[in-house]
Structure 1
């Protein structure tokens, strides 16, 4: 039996078995002793990750190894990640192809901009950091002028190998040399040696002083001297400024002195090095080839650039000695010297190169008084009599026209081939002598078209021209003389073209047209027209003549050359006399840039050549009517009836003319006859409108019943009938008329709108909404129907419903100017400006949107900006009458009377016909017969 407290024996091999056992999951070494857990490097792995796949690929590419694309062996049918289990079908392939095409298109759209940016960046880089070859490009180009002897005379380059080796050895010694720290005692001793003492210390006083370092016993203090000099300069500048303030004279200008200091250009080391290098190159050039004038000029110019004028003059003087036959060297020598020295230099120059016009002109320009200039130039003419420039300069100095004429007479004898001298002489002669001069010039220079044109202008400005007609001559005589003169000029220019062609001088039609435009600018319209008539047929195929000549006329009209354009139309009318379009364009041109009589003459000739062209008859009648000649207009329409018996347009024009002149019975008779002969839907409609305007509502309804039976699909007949019933407060009949019209003409937007407004007026708003819904089913994506629905909700007080409808409408019609103009003002005031920006982007430059933006500026009281945007709206579309109304309304509130009248005058010239409010006012029966001015005022009053 064992004793209490004894220990049982444990075998050695089983005592430490727990060391081979795995530790529990929550075991932490030393936790019982208060230690906390810790982590070692082996637990978390290495501190630095290995190279990424991109790094490895770059390294392989640098070593030239093949970089394996991980996607190369990817099966396109085997998607990964989210689509790993799907099947690659045909629609997937189509989608990938579409996306690829989209990416290619987007890349193509940006390619031009990207390439332009890259080119701009490259150009800036080349400008900031030019290559060495570009810096010497001009010198390289000048080498092309060297001949073989110049190349052979270039000296051989010296052997610089030894110098470079020695320089490199010195650099290596400096770089490999060791450096040591200098002790403080050495530095203090060096400072003490250079120190300047102002008094003796005690030791020097006791010993009686030390020996002086110099033989004469003096010490030079350069620091004190510099300070004293600066102080003296400062005192002088201060005194000079005080003298300038007191008004006394001074020899020092402080401001100029400081300005001169600031204006000094400090060149960098690189610039100085470049100048030195260039100087050496040029020195080698002029040394190897001293007869090469450009080398001397370049060397002198380099010294001028380096601000060394004395050296530059010295070099160019040596160049004059080495190259005495070069006019450029003498010219630059004169440029680099003072005027007095330049005269001496040019005096030597004319002895060496007496044939140089450039030297003579420079010498003349250095003279201060006119007689001296004349002497120099006349001396020059002795040496160079065949110089046109010298003769021109000599003639320009003459104040007396007779002296100038004598000089020019001599000049044309010496230089008979100068067109400019002949023309100048002709301008100085009398008309009779000028004609002789030009005839002589034509014989001397048969290839000059300028002389022929000058002859034409001379014939146009002859004493028998229109400008000197007698007072007793009437307009017909003046026109006859002008006609004869034009025929004379036409004949002259036609002969000019034939003569030039005979002498193998062929100018293109574009060149001739430019000459014609130049003649018109110089005030010779008949000559310009003659040139066009004689040359417009050149280089044009027969089948393209009409198109090309119309383009010439339009281009000349755009450029402001109205006589050239008029001549083009004259040729067109002569060649295509049976084309109504040509007569119409010619009449429109004369209406815009000619006289009313010219328009009437063209239209009268047009109806003679094209008797069945209704538009020409109508234009002729309208011109007579606008001019106040009502009987003349009636006579033209009567003649038109004879040529066009069943013409709807002529019947309606005659009826309108009768109604506008208050001849209502005649208008009714004309329309009755028209219904019997022509019987078109528009004639029936105008007949009903006239009866309604006269108050004959029952007759108008009967006429409409008959017309609807014949033309059931003409929506305006249903609209007029409904409006007549509505004016008589017969709502059921009006509803039935509109319903019948909507059924027969489901695509008529105004008919649906009138029907909905009738229901709204009758108080049945629900039915009005229903009608507009049906209308949108028949006419999808129509902004007018959506706009009417939105207005109904606004009038009913449902702003939230209106906004909801507007959102739906803009989804269906995203680019509608009408909807965008409404959307701007349905936003909160602080959000309208942003909405207007979106409207301009989406709807484009439509006058409705532009007017809406102008109204925003109007609300902010930005007057000039509002006026500018109103002008922009008119520029976008002058036929939009509502824009004119808003502009007049604005000017009534913020403009003067002159501005209001200017707006009205522009509106009358534009004669607008469109716009919601404009059409409603213009077609109102109560406003029949009103002028454009009166309608504009009513529109401005109605706009809100």
Structure 2
């Protein structure tokens, strides 16, 4: 026990000063925050100026330390903590607080200066993380947006995905277990039979047979009701069960609600018997509870209590039996003879027109100033009776404009004018009367009076301080159409600032054209042209409207008027000459161009239009004379090009070469002349000279892609087996000159594909799409190059990358065409030609598609649209249309030749071989 106690005393004793546990046996521990105190070797007090530790007695306790803590505990400070620092014995005064506040403000200032940059960096990191780790919702947002375009039939064609889980599979393949005999015996015993004990014998009742009998009885009753005579309720057997489904099963809670509601309405009717709303609610409550007799009884009591309220009588008429309704409404009319609603209800109950007219006449005797009664009587009367009634109606109701206008429509011209004059005096602030007067004059051929009437009407309305709302009058003009021209002329400037007139009027005309109000749009343009007669844009928009919605004669008349107001507009003269030419009147077209040249003597456009007129009509000598005069007057490069074209048409190669060379001396940067020179040498078989011409053209016009393309084709033709290498070199130089041109890249890709180098072509198109990621022609080519099963995905990528490019639309349309999705292919072809109607290749693809998959009407529609568009560009279109033998072919003939040049499915022979 002593040893044990001595051991315990040793464990409770204090360690010696500077004692480190385990240091004697070579252990090295770790240092914690508590070790920073007296547990570590204290530095010499002479160095830091601290008081020496108090001496300890033999048992390890400090002298004069009653609580047993060491001396360092007395040095604890709330600022320095348990550390004895340099300022351990100093006091924390106001100056220290002020210094700390200054440093704290400096820290906050520095922190705020870095805050914006830190927040920006954090925001950027969050954005990068969200971009690299999108949520499922963000990944499918584009697909969810397209769900709005899915049609109902497409939804129906989507297959239902069943439950193919392992547990369900196990259930579907469970073995069949026969029903035990005990269960079958029990079913036979419970086959809807019950035994009823009655007296000395028992009666067996077959409930199934009873149910079948009730069903037969119900069927007989329905058949009898459906054939009932007039006056009885007729039930539609086919909809009987449907209406039964609408009936709710009355539960206990619903019954309690009805009883509670009955108490409430009973209290209302007893406390306020003269208030009709209480009786109406009480009757409707009983009707809801299927107590029609009680409802009729309550509403009859309500009629007795409130005989002067029409709502109660109307409710009683509604709830009454068909044979009693007339009597109920008659009682109501006797009680309230001035009630229009009761008289109209009485007339509605009579199905005979004569009786209905008699009731309405009786009503008008009581209430002659009721507009509703007059209108109801006029509607069921003949035209002659209606005219007589309306004369009386306008006397009784002189402030209703509809009665006046109806009377004016039924009267003759002279009487109608008199009626409208009377109406104008009675209703001086009504614009509809003035508009009706203008329509009346227009209908009778007095078009000169229409504008005067509208002008007088606007002045009169303004005199009556009526606000002229421009938008309302414009709507009236759209309704009036022909008479709307005068309305537009007199109201279009109201409320529009002078600087906004042109923009506002053009926008109004475009909106009217979209709504189909062509006459109103024509009137707006006509007025705008008289105000802005020197604005060519307005004349052109008006001419386009006339060309689209008018006749050729009206367009020519409009253009004649246009050049009278604005004779310096070349395009108006040219449009007039072209319309005469298309009409087959070539002499008239010549006269227009001669007049135009007399008005604008130095216009090259008019010279070239006159040349085209003669050239297209095979008057080559006239064309040569016109071009000679243009060259003498110092014509531009186009004149020299047209001169060479005429000589090419005549087969004069020497003269053609002379014009081209002379033109190149004057205009060396005009690439068309270099192309024509190279093509001339190729036609003559001078391939070396053709190469020199193309090379010279490329040096003069390094940005002209057709020159590089022609030179590459020539090198491929001249060098045989080495042709591809030569073409590669030419196209490589072209790419250096035009690094971001997708057409040069396309030429390189096609050259590799043509010679079967599919890997090189795939590699090059990938690089080209990196440089030109939005190029539609490159994406369209990629769709052709990939295997068929990958084309759909590439088509989706192309639609996303290229911004509504028609080449991509045409490529997607061909995909649908190959998959026999006719409607989708037609839709995408239509998008392509709508976006770029000037490219003939799209029209040729569209027309070939309709020839294979469409009807005759669709084929005619596409052909007519192509002829109206007059396309001039396109890879295959230009190659055929600019051939010498096709120089005078119309658009329809060129279209047919391009269609024949296309292979099956809209591909050319080279493309079919590549795919």
TM-score range, shorter chain: 0.7 to 0.9
Question: In structure 2, what is the equivalent of residue 432 of structure 1?
Answer: 414
Counterpart in 1 of 2:348?
Answer: 365
How far does residue 932 in structure 1 lie from its aligned partner after superposition?
A: 0.6
Number of the residue aligned with 2:310: 327
Deviation at 1:939, TM superposition (A): 0.9
1:785 paired with 2:744, answer yes
- Residues 621 and 636 of structure 1 are in contact (CA less than 8 Å); yes or no, is this contact kept in structure 2? yes
Distance 1:680 1:846 in 2: 34
Q: Which residue in the other structure is 1:177 paired with?
A: none
Distance 1:259 1:487, change over 3 A: closer
Q: Is the 8 A contact 2:441 2:447 kept in 1?
A: no
- Cα distance, 1:677–1:272 mapped onto 2, change above 3 Å: farther
Go from structure 1 to structure 2 and tell me whether the alpha carbon gap of 1:374 and 1:94 turns closer, same or farther (over 3 Å shift). closer
Specify whether residues 301 and 751 from structure 1 end up closer, same or farther in structure 2 by C-alpha distance, changes over 3 A only.
farther
Do the aligned partners of 1:793 and 1:802 also contact (CA within 8 Å) in 2? yes
Q: What SS does the aligned partner of 2:502 have?
A: helix
Distance 1:810 1:297, change over 3 A: farther
- Alignment check: 8 A CA contact 1:648 1:678 kept: no
Aligned equivalent of 1:169: none
Q: Which residue of 1 aligns with 2:899?
A: 940
Q: Which residue number in structure 1 is paired with residue 713 of structure 2? A: 757
Measured in 2, the distance between the counterparts of 1:329 and 1:89 equals 76
Superposition deviation, residue 636 in structure 1: 1.6
Offset at 1:704? 2.5
Work out the number of aligned pairs and report it.
729
**Where does residue 124 of structure 2 map in the other structure?**
98
Deviation at 1:282, TM superposition (A): 4.3
1:250-399 matches, within 5 Å, as: 264-267=247-250, 275=258, 278-399=261-382
Distance 1:349 1:107 in 2: 73
Shift of 1:781: 2.8
Superposed displacement of residue 103, structure 1:
8.5
**Equivalent residue in structure 1 for 2:393, among 396, 404, 411:** 411
Q: In the alignment, which of 674, 678, 685 is matched to residue 718 of structure 1?
A: 674
Q: 1:782-861 alignment to 2 at 5 Å?
A: 782-861=741-820
Correspondence for 2:865: 906
Question: What is the distance in 2 between the residues matched to 1:734 and 1:235?
Answer: 101
How far off its partner does 1:366 sit? Answer: 0.7
1:197 CA drift (Å): 11
- Out of 444, 455, 459, the residue aligned to residue 437 of structure 2 is 455
Structure 1 residues 814 and 318: alpha-carbon distance in aligned structure 2, compared to 1, 3 A threshold = farther
Q: Which moved more, 1:901-910 or 1:855-864?
A: 855-864
Mapped to 1, the partners of 2:677 and 2:398 lie a distance apart of: 86
Tell me the residue number matched to 1:236: 213
Shift of 1:795: 0.9
Q: SS of the counterpart of 2:563?
A: helix
**Structure 1 residue 238 displacement after superposition:** 7.4
Counterpart Cα distance in 1 of 2:551 and 2:509: 18
Give the CA deviation at 1:371. 2.0
Match of 1:537 in 2: 493
Deviation at 1:933, TM superposition (A): 0.3
Alpha-carbon shift at residue 776 of structure 1 (Å): 2.2
Q: How much does 1:941 deviate?
A: 1.2
Give yes or no for contact 1:742–1:748 (8 Å, CA) kept in 2: yes
Q: TM-score, normalised by structure 1?
A: 0.71
The Cα of 1:432 is off from its aligned counterpart by 1.6
Task: State the 1:666 CA deviation.
Answer: 2.1
* Cα distance, 1:272 vs structure 2: 5.0
Matched residues in 1 for 2:550 and 2:237: separation?
69
Taking the aligned partners of 1:488 and 1:240, their CA distance within structure 2 comes to: 77
1:879 touches 1:911 (CA, 8 Å); kept in 2?
yes
**CA spacing shift, 1:636–1:285, aligned 2, 3 Å:** same
Per-residue deviation, residues 638-663 of structure 1 (Å, max 9, x unmatched): 22222222212111111111211222
1:880 to 821, 839, 862: 839
**Structure 1 residue ranges without an equivalent (≥5):** 1-12, 14-74, 77-87, 118-195, 200-217, 466-484
Whether 2:679 is the aligned partner of 1:693: answer no
Cα deviation code 1:96-132 (max 9, x no counterpart): 3534577899999x99x99xx9xxxxxxxxxxxxxxx
Residue pairs, 1:158-169, within 5 angstroms: none
What residue number does 1:684 align with? 640
Say if 1:723 and 1:345 are closer, same or farther in 2 by CA, change over 3 A. Answer: same
Taking the aligned partners of 2:422 and 2:871, their CA distance within structure 1 comes to 60
RMSD: 3.8
User: Is residue 509–residue 524 contact of structure 2 (8 Å, CA) maintained in 1?
Assistant: yes
1:769 aligns with 2:728: yes
SS of alignment partner, residue 568 of structure 2: coil
Instruction: Look up the SS of the partner of 1:577 in the other structure.
Output: coil
Query: Which deviations, in whole Å up to 9, do the C-alpha atoms of 1:882-928 show, x marking residues without a partner?
Result: 12111222333345555433332221122222322122222222210
Aligned counterpart in structure 2 of residue 892 of structure 1, from 851, 867, 873: 851
TM-score of the two chains, using structure 2 as the length reference: 0.73
CA, structure 1 residues 758+418, in 2 after alignment: closer, same or farther (shift >3 Å)? same
Is residue 472 of structure 2 the alignment partner of residue 511 of structure 1? yes
Is residue 705 of structure 2 the alignment partner of residue 744 of structure 1? no
Q: Which has the larger displacement, 539-548 or 845-854?
A: 845-854
- Displacement of 1:419 in angstroms is 1.0
Give CA-to-partner distance per residue, 1:443-501, whole Å, 9 cap, x none: 22212111111111111222xx3xxxxxxxxxxxxxxxxxxx32221111111111111
Residue 569 of structure 2 is matched in structure 1 by 613
- Counting only pairs closer than 5 Å after superposition, residues 461-610 of structure 1 correspond to structure 2 as 461-462=443-444, 465=445, 485-520=446-481, 525=482, 527-610=483-566
Q: Structure 1 residues 285 and 843, CA, compared in 2 at 3 Å: closer, same or farther? A: farther
SS of aligned partner of 1:228: strand
The 1:589–1:896 alpha-carbon spacing in structure 2 relative to 1, beyond 3 Å, is closer
Question: Using the alignment, how far apart are the partners of 2:263 and 2:863 within structure 1?
Answer: 77
2:195 touches 2:205 (CA, 8 Å); kept in 1?
no
Q: Distance in 2 between matches of 1:405 and 1:430?
A: 11
